[in-house]
Amino acid sequence: MVNLKQEIEKLKRERNALVLAHNYQLDEVQEVADYIGDSFYLSKIAANLDCETIVFSGVRFMAETAKILSPDKTVLLPESDAGCPLADTITGGDVRALKRQHPGAPVVCYVNSSAEVKAETDICCTSSNAVKVVASLPEKKVIFVPDGHLGDYVAKQLPEKELVLWHGACVTHAKVRPGDVAQIRADYPHAKILVHPECAPDVVAMADFTGSTAEIIRYAEQSQEKSLIIGTEVGVLCNLRASRPDKHFFLLHPGLVCPNMKKTRLQSVHAALLHNQHQIEVDEALAGPARRALIRMLEVV
Ligand code: 13P
């Protein structure tokens, strides 16, 4: 039987390729990754890699971001239909309409968006730097797209700003309701509840800590607490159970499983490297302005 992990390592060397994997990827995929992290970390890495090919184990907008930041490299998305329903809630035309409605207001764009949308915006952000990015802008009024939950979280951290929000949301994080938080708090009264800012505002208000996937992992690994409740995709819980077997981790909601992130298997990474599939291309007419918005974000923090 073919040992897929060994085959992947061999193909990586032959193709001068590196594998990037988001924290939500399956363990088997993370095990062959050269870099694992949250969206911000992976964007920074993608901009500065020394290789010919990047295999992006994640969803389409992440691979597109890598291609925009590294246009001379081949960027492969192992599962071509691994998308993001949140990114699909908005088009470039929607952003142009918002700009017409709010002239002079800069547009901050969560990286969970298409290249077409990024191209219409002034600066990108991820969940780990959204507050810093919005705070860095001199204008009081700021258009924030497409995640309305993350936008609400930012608005609450920066009361001096006036945010115009889009109504997009992550369908996976939006499953968590305040009743789930109340129930799990009653079941585990001593456990800290950590949530991603893509959760609904009434859920975030009940949590003990809010942060990106990497920030949740850092908090859970470094804090003194022995029991923690994880309010983001189950991949983070798997990482934590592996890295801190001495602690107890519970998932805030059984539905915290992103079907798109879970599409990529070891076989998908192997096939991507073997057949050089599925190559991401971004028209330079969109990639140019999208790159400016991404680089501006990388310069803020
Ligand atoms: P991070 O910025 O925490 O990696 O989150 C990305 C994402 O898509 C969360 O659902």
Write the CATH number for 125.
3.40.50.10800
Final residue of a domain: which of 113, 135, 170? Answer: 170
**Residues in CB range of 179: below 8 A, 6 or more apart:** none
The closest-lying atom of ligand 1 relative to the alpha carbon of residue 211 is: 3
For residue 256, being part of any structural domain is answered with no
Residue 164: strand pairing partners:
143
What domain range is 8 assigned to?
Answer: 4-82+261-281
For residue 300, being part of any structural domain is answered with no
Q: Using N-to-C axis directions, what is the helix angle for 266-275 and 4-15, rounded to 10°? A: 30
pTM summary value: 0.97
The closest-lying atom of ligand 1 relative to the alpha carbon of residue 172 is: 10
- With a Cβ cut-off of 6 Å, ligand 1 is lined by 38-39, 112, 126-128, 170, 196, 198, 212-213
Q: What is residue 16's three-state secondary structure?
A: coil
Query: Does 33 share its domain with 72?
Result: yes
**Token digits for 278?**
């599925």
Look at phi and psi of residue 16 and say left if phi exceeds 0, alpha if psi is from -120 to 50, else beta. left
> Mutation test of ligand 1: which of 39, 132, 195, 258 has the most ligand atoms closer than 8 Å to its C-beta?
39
Distance from C-alpha of 156 to C-alpha of 131, rounded to nearest angstrom: 10
For residue 195, being part of any structural domain is answered with yes
Query: Does 212 share its domain with 197?
Result: yes
The closest-lying atom of ligand 1 relative to the alpha carbon of residue 233 is: 10
Distance 3 CA to ligand 1 centre (A): 31
pLDDT of residue 1: 58
> Mutation test of ligand 1: which of 20, 30, 38 has the most ligand atoms closer than 8 Å to its C-beta?
38
Distance 17 CA to ligand 1 centre (A): 24
The closest-lying atom of ligand 1 relative to the alpha carbon of residue 84 is: 8
Q: Whose alpha carbon is nearest atom 8 of ligand 1?
A: 112
- pLDDT, mean of each 10-residue run, the chain (301 residues): 91 98 97 96 94 98 97 98 98 98 98 98 98 98 98 98 98 98 97 98 98 97 96 96 96 98 98 98 98 97 62
Angle, CA 94 vertex, CA 92 and CA 98 arms, to 5°: 115
Query: Does 207 share its domain with 247?
Result: yes
Query: Does 148 share its domain with 196?
Result: no
For residue 288, being part of any structural domain is answered with no
How far out from the chain centre does Cα 212 lie? Answer: 8
Distance 93 CA to ligand 1 centre (A): 24
pLDDT of residue 113: 98
For residue 206, being part of any structural domain is answered with yes
Query: Does 150 share its domain with 128?
Result: yes
Distance 14 CA to ligand 1 centre (A): 31
pLDDT of residue 2: 76
Helix locations, 16-105, DSSP H: 27-30, 39-47, 60-69, 92-101
The closest-lying atom of ligand 1 relative to the alpha carbon of residue 170 is: 10
Final residue of a domain: which of 152, 170, 188? Answer: 170
pLDDT of residue 216: 98
> Mutation test of ligand 1: which of 42, 56, 112 has the most ligand atoms closer than 8 Å to its C-beta?
112
For residue 186, being part of any structural domain is answered with yes
The closest-lying atom of ligand 1 relative to the alpha carbon of residue 214 is: 3
For residue 301, being part of any structural domain is answered with no
Query: Does 92 share its domain with 165?
Result: yes
Number of domains in the chain: 3
For residue 115, being part of any structural domain is answered with yes
